[in-house]
Amino acid sequence: MLFLVFTLVGSIFLFFSLLLIYVEVGTFSFSLLSKVNISYSKVLIIGFFIFLTFAVKMPMPPFHIWLPEAHVEAPSVGSVILAGILLKLGGYGFVRILYPCFKVAIYYYFPFIAMLAFIGIIYPSIIILCQLDLKRIIAYASISHMNLVVLGIFSDNLEGITGSCFLMLAHGLVSALFFFLIGFLYNKYKSRLFIYYGGLYNSMPLFCFVILIACFGNMGLPLTCNFVGELLIFIGMFEKNKFIFFFCLFSIVITAVYSLYFFNRLCFGNVTKYIKTFEDFTDIEYMIVFPLLIFIILLGIRPNLGLDILTPNLSIILERIK
């Protein structure tokens, strides 16, 4: 219900923006919108409405509350689609619509956007430490990473925007792997509550190895795909605003803390009485997990596989804007 309500309200803002654009310009062509002069006040209104629409999709605070609830209620496959595809619609809207066509509004609202993004990076990372539901933990981690994507997009340089697009791809892989793994646990033990798990390395060593790689990816450790995207975003933000850059460096520490806490609490310690059966990956589960694991490591070792596609296209967008 929250997903429906927030999406509907965000779509209303987009609908009014489209009406105002058509009244002012008479077209929805991207190439014309980037060249036609619209009055300054109306650009600010249209840009703000479009920003609200895609801020709901990212999601940015205070619109983020629908995501944890949607993940908890959704089946594993639904969570994978939600984290791997639907969240990226917000990033697409920022890169494809708001940034090229209404760049003046971005300059005007950048302090406000940066403040929301910073809150969206730090606050969910702290909230994770007191969560009990495994899917809710990954949902809050997704909020933190997607707000880092927002900072990269609005850094107004090629490094930041390229890093944001690459991190969206990397986040789709890592979060999908997490949700599949949690789904496997739920199918075996019929619970997602943190307190019922512990000592899984005794019975599920391969599962613990895979979830360790997923935690490394979530932390942005070198040789994982998240590292490349986060590094480019921080480079772009350093060029844009050094003050925001140094504040956002705290996100690296907090992400490492909750990722290691998550892995240690789940895989080490004493085996709980709740776990009565001992079984690792089945053949089907292994076939689902293995390709995601390969791409997470492959894009960390050879990021040019993605950057060679992203960089030329994003360079064209930036040249058209200039």
Model pLDDT for residues 270-310, shown as the tens digit of each residue? 777 777 666 788 888 888 899 999 999 999 999 998 888 88
Of 182-186, 198-202, 214-218, 300-304, where does mean pLDDT reach its minimum? 198-202
Confidence of residue 322 (pLDDT cuts 50, 70, 90): low
Full DSSP string of 141-166: HHHHHHHHHHHHHTT-SHHHHHHHHH
Query: Do 283 and 204 meet the contact criterion of CB atoms below 8 Å apart?
Result: no
Please give the residue that has the higher pLDDT: either 210 or 276.
Answer: 210
Count of CB atoms within 10 A of residue 205's CB?
Answer: 12
Q: Which residues contact 41 (CB under 8 A, 6 or more apart)?
A: none
223: left (phi over 0), alpha (psi -120 to 50) or beta: left
pTM of the model: 0.91
Q: Which two tokens stand for residue 62?
A: 């205070």
Report the C-alpha gap between 57 and 63 in whole angstroms: 8
Rg of the chain over Cα atoms, rounded to whole angstroms, equals 20
Task: Provide the pLDDT for residue 320.
Answer: 65
For residue 321, is pLDDT > 70? no
The residue-averaged pLDDT of 152-175 equals 90
Q: What percent of the chain has pLDDT over 90?
A: 32
**pLDDT computed for residue 168 by the predictor:** 93
What residues form DSSP beta bridges with 193?
Answer: 133
In this predicted structure, what is the pLDDT of residue 226?
92
Beta-carbon contacts of 203 under 8 Å, excluding residues fewer than 6 positions away, are: 271, 275, 278, 279, 280
Asked whether the predicted pLDDT for residue 100 surpasses 90, the reply is no
Q: What is the pLDDT of residue 52?
A: 92
Query: Which tokens is 43 given?
Result: 């650009």
pLDDT exceeds cutoff 70 at 188: yes
For tokens 């992400």, name the residue.
Answer: 255
pLDDT at position 267 is: 85
- Give kind and range of the element (H or E) at residue 289: helix 283-301
Q: What are the φ/ψ torsions at residue 244 (nearest 5 degrees)?
A: -65, -35
Note the pLDDT of residue 299: 93
pLDDT digits (tens, 9 = 90+) for 64-95: 889 999 988 888 888 899 888 888 988 998 98
- Residue 213 has which token pair? 């790689």
The structure tokens 């979830």 sit at 211
Arithmetic mean of pLDDT, 222-245: 90
Report, as an integer, the average pLDDT of 247-256.
Answer: 86
CA distances from 299 to 155, 170, 183, 225, 302 (A): 23, 8, 25, 5, 5
d(CA 106, CA 130): 35
